[in-house]
Structure 1
């Protein structure tokens, strides 16, 4: 794992106070925070994936500048050690189904903002180095802005994407192109229906590098806010597994469970959440040195029945498999599991990119996704207070943010912002009811 320590732009006290007033309504801001002046608040964020680090960032950013705030991020397998760190990283605000994604515009904009924050951390580090060393992850980038190309492989697929193109967001357009135009972007790509959908503003994110950079940005933001304001801000990462939530009872003002599928294995939550588990294997392929048919530097990543996340002209990630009801959340993949994944994924990828058969296997990793239930608004993550069935003493307030599923990168930033606002205001009403309605169907324990 690569560790970075970067300089981050200082946020002034005046702008911070103005920001807080804009984020929450004046009534909420005054009634919820006036009595906390000079108090010290401690928050535990369980999980260092997309959900956890988004919540941690927004808790710092949204907290009143006069308060002393300490945030402990706890994760037994490290930053990005779960499903978030091995996800495909293809960021776009569109659904392969007929119905548009819920609140896609807000989610898209906030995800781009957090991504820019992580990239700013990289730039600050590079400018501050004395020895000329570049700060980068093993693949050399946090975000690759080459867009995403989706060949239409059926009439139904074409109809859905045409609808998406007609209703595309201003910040992420969809262009309908033919096979010739598609091949100028990705040579030798196959477009069965002579129609493909190009999202030039979509982004290929390196999940592990992004998460590590976002945590470093949190550290620097805490330092800068402490220097600029009256209250000290602090964030710490602890590589610590939590056996049960009552271990932390009374130690923190609030405990936010952001453990993804691992939240389902906590004794207080086991069998009570409307989530399903799905293990997905992602394979890493590279083009052998004796083959020249590399992917051009400008080529977008590819979405189809299998996705190809282009890392550079000779490296890509191919994914992912879907093993429902798995309990295996280890990132490590055996050769048997990797071979099975390749056997499943390669034919799907070759249907749109035949050249993939010339690429060689380099490695594989896996993650256990927490898949949310289907609602009238689509498959939405679970947010809300859970202390009613965690503890009778209420010495700490317990919250849950889980079920990001296969769209975690799109949803994590805006929903993390909502969760942080709710925690700081001690008010679940900050969260849209679509995200909290799952609690009415909770399985009660006798």
Structure 2
């Protein structure tokens, strides 16, 4: 494997301010030698899926594994890094529900996601040292917009609820209440139906595909930099191959971590047995008709009945449609499907930003999301060991990290860390019970 000539990273304090997270308490205890860590042979892990969940798990497995441990990780994904639903998501990162209510463990999830973004930034800087491109160019490759996210109130009931929830906003990602004049100063041309909007200045807009590519590079760098005479050997490989069943991995691996999103239902051992619903979402891409009608420079992204994610002043993504029970995981969108999506999304987006009506449709892409069940704490992802769930005796442990729904970017950092810790310690109890209680839910057909 080719070795990079890495230059030294700059002081973290000069990284972009909004990606500089405060020091976190070590809320997840260090891995202790248990179970598979007592094996004398090198550990082999298979991670199925190279999206938000899979790459977060890989990073944390490498980072948390004992220095002396010989560890080989194989990633399996037929379309490669970020080629599935994660890579075509809107990339809007914030810790709130549509009603600006903090999500369960939202602050923890936010902080861990910011840490992974900074790790990916550092990998971008290492690439900059090798090929001589500008640092700013590579950081902009995935941290597209640091101008926050605007959430307009759409009716009186909605405005009352948003006002109440905004009072309990998280210090790590504030929510400010703006009137029409203040919102116009932030985003000229915006239309507020009830003269009120809620602004999250620290919220981010990420290009998810590029972010995942840089996070994978960070994993590769970690493997290369871990080799020394007093350390165990670490190996990382990516296999672009289809997965037809868990039986393919028997006898080869100590643990298999399933991070396949909606494609988890394609595994015969699991299909139809998880409390997940599938939902296909289409995103349309728009560009201005001429140079005089661009999106305002540094204008925030918008969350409303349809969201607007800003790639640049001349490039907007608008999403997303919701086609429940779809089994179509292809990112390709037919002319008919794209036309229907545009017809549905453009009126919703133009209600808040009327200038978008004249923009030109230039393409569409789609992803199939795995939506988890609703609990009293909200829609929480599914984690845990599933050996008992899938039955039979197995030569390795099978773990599930799935059901991220439409919040994969927020959840992937913390939950990837939890999953890695559980795998390395062979202890499901390190995972909060709220994330394993799905095992008590009977799927509805």
Same fold judged by TM-score > 0.5?
yes
- Please list, as runs of the form range in 1=range in 2, the aligned pairs for 1:1-400 lying within 5 A after superposition: 7=6, 24-25=28-29, 29-31=32-34, 35-36=38-39, 39-97=41-99, 100-130=102-132, 132=133, 140-227=141-228, 229-288=230-289, 290-390=290-390, 392-400=392-400
Cα offset, 1:168, TM superposition? 1.2
| Residues 144 and 205, structure 2, Cα contact 8 Å, conserved in 1 | yes
Superposed CA offset, 1:108-142 (max 9, x none): 00001101111111122113324x47796798443
Q: Is there any run of 5+ residues in structure 1 with no aligned partner, and where?
A: 11-18
Give the aligned partner of residue 19 of structure 2: none
Identify if the C-alpha distance between structure 1 residues 264 and 208 changes in structure 2 by more than 3 Å, giving closer, same or farther. Answer: same
Indicate the RMSD between aligned Cα atoms, in angstroms.
2.5
| Residues 102 and 169, structure 2, Cα contact 8 Å, conserved in 1 | no
Identify if the C-alpha distance between structure 1 residues 143 and 113 changes in structure 2 by more than 3 Å, giving closer, same or farther. Answer: farther
| Residues 6 and 216, structure 1, Cα contact 8 Å, conserved in 2 | no
What SS does structure 2 have at the residue aligned with 1:297? Answer: coil
Identify if the C-alpha distance between structure 1 residues 179 and 277 changes in structure 2 by more than 3 Å, giving closer, same or farther. Answer: same
- What CA distance in whole angstroms lies between the structure 1 residues aligned with 2:143 and 2:176? 25
What SS does structure 1 have at the residue aligned with 2:32? Answer: helix
Superposed CA offset, 1:71-111 (max 9, x none): 11100111111111110100000112485311001000000
Give the aligned partner of residue 15 of structure 1: none
- What CA distance in whole angstroms lies between the structure 2 residues aligned with 1:170 and 1:109? 11
What SS does structure 1 have at the residue aligned with 2:361? Answer: strand
| Residues 382 and 403, structure 1, Cα contact 8 Å, conserved in 2 | yes
Identify if the C-alpha distance between structure 1 residues 146 and 7 changes in structure 2 by more than 3 Å, giving closer, same or farther. Answer: farther
- What CA distance in whole angstroms lies between the structure 1 residues aligned with 2:6 and 2:385? 35
Superposed CA offset, 1:288-331 (max 9, x none): 2x341212221110110000000111101000000000000000
Cα offset, 1:33, TM superposition? 7.8
Q: Is there any run of 5+ residues in structure 2 with no aligned partner, and where?
A: 10-22
- What CA distance in whole angstroms lies between the structure 2 residues aligned with 1:169 and 1:346? 32
What SS does structure 2 have at the residue aligned with 1:406? Answer: coil
- Name the stretch that deviates more: 318-327 or 90-99: 90-99
Cα offset, 1:440, TM superposition? 2.0
| Residues 101 and 169, structure 2, Cα contact 8 Å, conserved in 1 | no
Superposed CA offset, 1:202-249 (max 9, x none): 000001000111111101011112238511111111001110111111
The count of corresponding residues between Structure 1 and Structure 2 is 428
Identify if the C-alpha distance between structure 1 residues 156 and 5 changes in structure 2 by more than 3 Å, giving closer, same or farther. Answer: farther
- What CA distance in whole angstroms lies between the structure 2 residues aligned with 1:219 and 1:312? 30
- What CA distance in whole angstroms lies between the structure 2 residues aligned with 1:109 and 1:8? 27
TM-score of the aligned structures, taking structure 2 as reference length: 0.91
- What CA distance in whole angstroms lies between the structure 2 residues aligned with 1:23 and 1:420? 14
Identify if the C-alpha distance between structure 1 residues 228 and 159 changes in structure 2 by more than 3 Å, giving closer, same or farther. Answer: farther
Superposed CA offset, 1:44-85 (max 9, x none): 000011111111111101111110111111001111111111
- What CA distance in whole angstroms lies between the structure 1 residues aligned with 2:114 and 2:161? 25
Cα offset, 1:143, TM superposition? 4.0
What SS does structure 2 have at the residue aligned with 1:405? Answer: coil
What SS does structure 2 have at the residue aligned with 1:351? Answer: helix
- What CA distance in whole angstroms lies between the structure 1 residues aligned with 2:423 and 2:170? 30
Give the aligned partner of residue 16 of structure 2: none
